[in-house]
């Protein structure tokens, strides 16, 4: 049996990544202020915000303000907007109210420490802005391009970017395979788009040499990796690891597939 190239690591704190030895240094969530508008003049310690989406309310989980830092006010506005518009625009399902923060927003935000400082990030199949808008909120120092083929979703992404006052976001209506000219990017992310065997061929070409894939995956990510062996080899994907993030903050950890494409830049 071939040796499994995948490293699995459990990260207990979203603010202290320990799985990136030898890669570009990551910075903490909410760090940096060069590309976005800071919420430092707002009351970051204000009462937790609850959101409603056609059902029960999920109270903002403890630790959310720590995850978003100075950007917490903007994160709360995004949660409220997604709760208000999400179902009618087909962005999230009608049963997601009870886990909008924990399953969706914080699930994405814990990836923020793994973004390269001052880098360019592409979010493929951005949809509701998960994870792209969440990461743009948490990391205003990173330039984020939201790639989405559906017009009504790109309309939402542009409107929400304007409502949030984000200056580090570009919305591109396109399929991933038609967005190569918008790159090259330092990192590419995706969530709930497709299995690795289909996702890698359309995302790897968006990266510069030595760029990273950062995919939020489900519990069967190891099976996806095994099924995509030939595709991984073909696109020179290496340094594969699966990180488990957010333990102690959210009920279900975020599984982050992280890998490098090609060699050093």
206-234 tens-digit pLDDT? 999 999 999 999 999 999 999 999 999 99
Token output for 20 = 């990136």
Contact yes or no for 144/121 (Cβ under 8 A):
yes
| Residue 94 CA from chain centroid, whole number | 22
CA distance 115 to 186: 9
At 92 the pLDDT is 83
Domain 7-38+112-261 has CATH 3.40.50.10440: no
Q: In a 3-state reduction of DSSP, which class is residue 144?
A: strand
C-alpha to C-alpha distance for 236 and 2, rounded to whole angstroms: 18
Whether 26 shows a pLDDT value over 50: the answer reads: no
Residue 221: its H or E element: helix 221-227
Quote the pLDDT of residue 159.
Answer: 97
Strand 120-124 to 143-148 pairing: parallel
Across the chain, mean pLDDT equals 82
pLDDT at 265: 46
Q: How confident is the model at residue 44 (pLDDT cuts 50, 70, 90)?
A: very low
Quick one: average pLDDT of 169-180?
97
Evaluate if residue 246 carries a pLDDT over 60: yes
Sign of CA dihedral 23, 27, 33, 37: positive
pLDDT in tens, 86-103: 888 878 877 776 788 988
Give 238-242's long-range contacts (Cβ < 8 A, gap of 24+): 238/5, 239/23, 240/5, 240/6, 240/7, 241/6, 241/7, 241/8, 241/9, 241/19, 242/6, 242/7, 242/8, 242/9, 242/217
Residue 213 bridge partners (DSSP): 188, 259
CA distance 205 to 191: 18
Are the beta carbons of 150 and 171 closer than 8 angstroms? Answer: no
Predicted TM-score (pTM) of the model is 0.81
Residue 51 has pLDDT above 90, yes or no: no
Answer yes or no: are the C-beta atoms of 75 and 131 closer than 8 Å.
no
Residue boundaries of the structural domains of the chain:
7-38+112-261
pLDDT at 18 over 60: no
* Cα–Cα distance, 41 to 120 (Å, whole number): 27
Average pLDDT over residues 22-48: 35
């Amino acid at each position: 049996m071939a040796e499994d190239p995948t490293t699995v690591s459990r990260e207990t704190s979203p603010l202290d990544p320990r799985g990136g030895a030898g890669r570009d240094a990551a910075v903490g969530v909410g760090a940096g202020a060069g590309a976005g508008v800071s919420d430092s003049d707002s009351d970051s310690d204000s009462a937790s915000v609850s959101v409603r989406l056609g059902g029960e309310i999920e109270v903002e989980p403890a630790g959310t303000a720590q995850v978003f830092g100075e950007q917490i006010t903007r994160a709360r506005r995004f949660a409220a907007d997604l709760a208000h518009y999400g179902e009618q625009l087909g962005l999230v399902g009608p049963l997601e109210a009870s886990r909008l923060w924990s399953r969706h927003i914080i699930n994405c935000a814990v990836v923020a420490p793994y973004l390269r400082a001052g880098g360019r990030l592409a979010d493929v199949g951005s949809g509701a802005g998960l994870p792209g808008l969440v990461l743009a909120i948490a990391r205003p120092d990173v330039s984020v391009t939201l790639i989405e083929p559906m017009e009504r979703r790109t309309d939402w992404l542009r409107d929400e970017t304007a409502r949030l006052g984000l200056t580090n976001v570009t919305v591109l209506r396109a399929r991933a395979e038609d967005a190569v000219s918008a790159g090259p990017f330092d990192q590419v992310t995706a969530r709930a788009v497709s299995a690795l065997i289909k996702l890698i061929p359309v995302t790897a070409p968006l990266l510069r040499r030595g760029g990273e894939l950062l995919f939020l995956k489900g519990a069967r990510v190891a099976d996806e990796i095994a099924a995509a062996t030939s595709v991984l080899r073909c696109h020179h994907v290496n340094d594969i690891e699966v990180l488990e993030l957010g333990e102690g903050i959210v009920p279900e950890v975020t599984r982050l597939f992280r890998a490098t494409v090609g060699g050093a830049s």
